[in-house]
């Protein structure tokens, strides 16, 4: 059983200058309090208590190659020697752009940024400029960053959410006001008729969605849903944006759009694109993207295409070969199936859904969720107890049920994980 006393001591005695001891609200929580890590290598994180922990946070999905991959580290060191920030162009950003545009079906052109939240903003602005319309349609339970104009209905309580056919816009944080939601409409995901009906009013600039819902749960699009939304967008002059911040480079080298074979007009990427370095991208149709250059649409950022993260990105992408996905998928699938068998053996009712390198466990669900409201019935407290029990066995998973797998989660790591899952499952089994 692992102990986390030194983490607790540091948080109690040294973290007072940082609000809550963490620099992102998403790092609050976990019954044991925030952990303090010293280093990461492969599938493992090492903390100040001397614990060696198998990590399925993987940098909230970013570390698709695991911690400290040699090729990425070397590329970064080399680039640091050459310079940090030029406020001009460098060859490495054009190399990085070429790789993404050759890989991602929707990417005729791109612009780099530093976080998923900010490229989501760029996409919204661009679609409003291109269409002359104001409304962006988003979906309940989908998260596209923490900014005031989009942090709506990301995780509403069922009491606040309103009728399923016409959901309420529910703020995600104190400090937002209804004025921030002006120009936003929220629908249930996976309901094609609802999208068609809303777009038919002719005032929607863009539909913004995760093509597979992975921020909450791991929910696949229903057969024909993505194609239907795309057709409705084309019919009513609406721009389709895929948020691939999680799915990008996890559901395959070409992202969710390659996996499901539906090419949106615009897409945004971040997280795994550069294995933990702050790189994001908005990519899409040349006629739209060129509006940033010649159409009067502003996109800025001091740190955009900073050469060091760009070098990390190129090295990451070079490692993300088709063979990488083939090999890593075998580990991810073995892990997922192993967990399912243990739940069956121990009598735990759960749905394990998703993909090879990203899946989700929903305790207490009778069937796989189709949308946020199905997922909202999961036993979150029960799963949090399981996550706590797993951590004490040396396996770190997100309390919201997501598991991120990297190429370092090999057979040996999967074996060790399944041993820990067995112990934790017995601890929380009914």
x/- binding map, residues 355-394, to ligand PLP, per CB under 6 A?
----------------------------------------
Q: Which is nearer to ligand PLP, 268 or 289 (CB)?
A: 268
Among residues 63, 209, 245, 315, the one that binds ligand PLP under rule CB under 6 A = 245
Q: Which stretch binds ligand PLP (CB under 6 A): 84-92, 241-249, 312-320, 353-361?
A: 241-249
Task: Looking at residues 22 to 61 of the shown chain, list those that interact with ligand PLP (rule: CB under 6 A).
Answer: 60
User: So which residues are the catalytic ones?
Assistant: 143, 243, 271
Which is closer to ligand PLP, CB of 242 or CB of 343?
A: 242
Looking at residues 261 to 320 of the shown chain, list those that interact with ligand PLP (rule: CB under 6 A). 270
Residue of 215, 238, 305, 353 interacting with ligand PLP (CB under 6 A) = 215
Interface stretch with ligand PLP, choices 189-197, 243-251, 311-319, 354-362 (CB under 6 A): 243-251
Nearest residue (CB) to ligand PLP, 107 versus 274: 274
Q: How many chain residues interact with ligand PLP (CB under 6 A)?
A: 14
Query: Which range of residues in 72-80, 126-134, 238-246, 408-416 is near ligand PLP by CB under 6 A?
Result: 238-246
What phi and psi values does residue 240 have, to the nearest 5 degrees?
A: -100, 125
Which one of 100, 137, 207, 246 is in contact with ligand PLP (CB under 6 A)?
246
Minimum separation from the CB atom of position 58 to ligand PLP (A): 12
Q: Rule CB under 6 A: say whether 210 interacts with ligand PLP.
A: yes
Q: Which of 115, 121, 304, 328 binds ligand PLP (CB under 6 A)?
A: 115
Quick check: 175 and 25 in contact, CB under 8 A? no
Residue 143 binding ligand PLP, by CB under 6 A: yes
- The answer to whether 145 contacts ligand PLP (rule: CB under 6 A) is yes
Nearer to ligand PLP, 185 or 243 (CB): 243
Assess contact for 141 and 371: CB atoms under 8 A. Answer: yes
Measured over the CA atoms of residue 369, residue 375, residue 381 and residue 386, the dihedral's sign is: positive
Give min distance, CB of 102 to ligand PLP, in A. Answer: 23
Q: Which stretch binds ligand PLP (CB under 6 A): 12-20, 98-106, 113-121, 230-238?
A: 113-121
Task: Confirm or reject binding of residue 353 to ligand PLP (CB under 6 A).
Answer: no
The residues that touch ligand PLP, with contacts defined as CB under 6 A, are 60, 115-117, 120, 143-145, 210, 215, 243, 245-246, 270
């Amino acid at each position: 059983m692992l102990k986390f006393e030194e983490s607790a001591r540091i948080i109690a005695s040294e973290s007072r200058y940082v609000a809550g001891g963490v620099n992102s609200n998403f790092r609050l929580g976990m019954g044991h309090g925030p952990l303090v890590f010293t280093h990461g290598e492969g599938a493992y994180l090492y903390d100040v208590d001397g614990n060696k922990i198998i990590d399925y946070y993987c940098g909230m999905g970013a570390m698709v190659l695991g911690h400290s991959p040699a090729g990425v580290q070397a590329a970064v060191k080399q680039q640091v020697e050459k310079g940090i920030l030029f406020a001009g162009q460098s060859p490495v950003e054009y190399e990085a752009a070429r790789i993404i545009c050759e890989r991602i079906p929707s990417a005729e052109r791109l612009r780099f940024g530093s976080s998923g939240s900010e490229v989501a903003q760029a996409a919204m602005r661009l679609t409003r400029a291109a269409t002359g319309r104001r409304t962006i349609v988003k979906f309940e339970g989908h998260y596209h960053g923490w900014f005031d104009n989009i942090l709506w209905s990301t995780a509403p309580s069922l009491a606040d959410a309103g009728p399923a056919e016409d959901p309420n816009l529910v703020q995600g944080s104190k400090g937002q006001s209804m004025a921030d939601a002006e120009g936003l409409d929220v629908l249930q995901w996976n309901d094609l008729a609802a999208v068609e009906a809303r777009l038919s009013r002719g005032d929607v600039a863009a539909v913004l969605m995760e093509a597979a819902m992975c921020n909450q749960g791991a929910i696949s699009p229903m057969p024909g849903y993505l194609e239907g939304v795309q057709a409705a967008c084309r019919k009513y002059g609406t721009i389709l944006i895929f948020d691939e911040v999680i799915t990008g480079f996890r559901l395959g080298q070409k992202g969710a759009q390659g996996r499901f074979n539906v090419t949106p007009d615009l897409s945004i990427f971040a997280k795994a694109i550069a294995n933990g370095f702050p790189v994001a991208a908005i990519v899409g149709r040349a006629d739209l993207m060129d509006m940033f250059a010649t159409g009067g649409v502003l996109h800025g950022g001091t740190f955009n295409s900073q050469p060091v993260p760009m070098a990390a990105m190129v090295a990451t992408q070079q490692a993300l070969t088709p063979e990488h996905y083939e090999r890593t998928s075998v580990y991810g699938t073995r892990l997922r199936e192993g967990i399912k068998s243990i739940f069956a053996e121990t009598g735990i009712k759960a749905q394990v859904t998703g993909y090879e390198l990203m899946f989700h466990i929903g305790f207490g669900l009778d069937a796989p969720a189709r949308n946020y409201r199905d997922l909202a019935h999961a036993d979150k407290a029960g799963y949090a107890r399981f996550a706590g029990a797993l951590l004490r066995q040396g396996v770190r998973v997100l309390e919201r049920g997501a598991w991120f797998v990297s190429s370092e989660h090999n057979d040996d790591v999967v074996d060790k994980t399944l041993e820990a899952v067995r112990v934790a499952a017995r601890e929380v089994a009914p």
